Structure 1
Amino acid sequence: MIALVNAMHITASVFINDDESGLHHDYDVWLEKLAPHEPVSQYRHNVGEDNADAHMKRQIMGREVVVAITDGRLDFGTWERIFYGEFDGRRKKRVLVKIIGE
C-alpha cells in the first residue's frame, strides 16, 4: 500500500523532512531568501494580489508526497515526518490523504 498526501492548494506544500525546530527555522529563512515577499512589486503576478512568493515557495517545496505503508505503518526513516507548508494563509485550504492498495 501507499499513502498519497497532497496540499490541494497552489500556495501550500506537503513535504517530508526532520521534525527539528532549527531546521524549520532554516527553511523559513532560506525560502524567504529565494523568493522574498517584499517588495511585492518585483512580481508580475502581484497585480491585484501579493502572493507570488507563496507560489514560488510551493514550487520549491513540492506539491505532494507518496509514502509506502507496511503492516499499517508509514515506512519512514528514523527522523522523517510529513509536514504541511503554508506560504499564503489567506484562503481556506485542505489536504488530501489517499491510501492506495490492499
Structure 2
Amino acid sequence: MRQFVEILAIPTRGRGLVEATAAVSQWATGLGIRTGLLTLFCRHTSASLIIQENAAPEARSDLEAFFERVAPEDPRLYAHDDEGPDDMPAHIRAALTGAHLSIPMIGGRLALGTWQGIFLFEHRRAPQRREIAAHLMGA
C-alpha cells in the first residue's frame, strides 16, 4: 500500500463551476496506483467540490442558477457579511454541496462515469486561488 498527497491550486474567475478533472486525473494517474481511493478536500468555506455533468454546459449553468435562487445575494437576509454581501450566500452554497469527494481508482484510472467531471464550485464573485488537498492511497 502506498500513499501520496498534494495540494492542487485551482484559479477561478469568480462565481461558477471550474472543471478540475484534468488536473486531478493527471496528478493521480501519474503516480502508478492501479487500485485505490482518491480523496479530495476543498480547503475553503466559500467554495466546494462536486461531481457533475461535464458535457453539456447547460447543466452547469442550470446548477449555478439554482444556487442563485436557493441562497440569493440579498443583504436583508443575512447578519454575516464580514467580507461583503456575497459572503454568507457563499457559505450556504458550500454547506449544501460539500467540501470533499472520494473517487475510486480502478485499473490506474479515476472511476468516473462517462459524463462525470470533478468541479470546484466557486461561490464568491471575485476571482480566487483555491486549494484542493488530494490524498491517494492504493497499490
| Length-normalised TM-score, structure 1 | 0.88
Alignment counterpart, residue 3 of structure 1, candidates 25, 38, 41? 38
Provide the aligned C-alpha RMSD in A: 1.6
Give the corresponding residue for 1:12: 47
Give the corresponding residue for 2:116: 80
Give the corresponding residue for 1:67: 103
1:31-42 equivalent positions in 2, closer than 5 A: 31-37=67-73, 39-42=74-77
Identity across the alignment (%): 23
What CA distance in whole angstroms lies between the structure 2 residues aligned with 1:21 and 1:95?
23
What CA distance in whole angstroms lies between the structure 1 residues aligned with 2:112 and 2:83?
42
Give the corresponding residue for 1:43: 78
Give the corresponding residue for 1:21: 57
What CA distance in whole angstroms lies between the structure 2 residues aligned with 1:72 and 1:25?
32
| Length-normalised TM-score, structure 2 | 0.66
Displaced runs of 4 or more, over 3 A: 89-92
Quick one: which amino acid aligns to residue 68 of structure 1? P
Give the corresponding residue for 1:57: 93
Q: Which has the higher helix share?
A: 1
Distance 1:46 1:18, change over 3 A: same
SS at match of 1:94: strand
Q: Which has the higher strand share?
A: 2
- The C-alpha deviation readout for 1:54-102, integer Å capped at 9, x for no partner, is 0001111111110000121001111111111011246542111110222
Quick one: which amino acid aligns to residue 62 of structure 2? D
SS at match of 1:77: coil
Unpaired runs of 5+ in structure 1? none
Give the corresponding residue for 2:130: 93
Unpaired runs of 5+ in structure 2? 1-35
Matched positions, count: 101
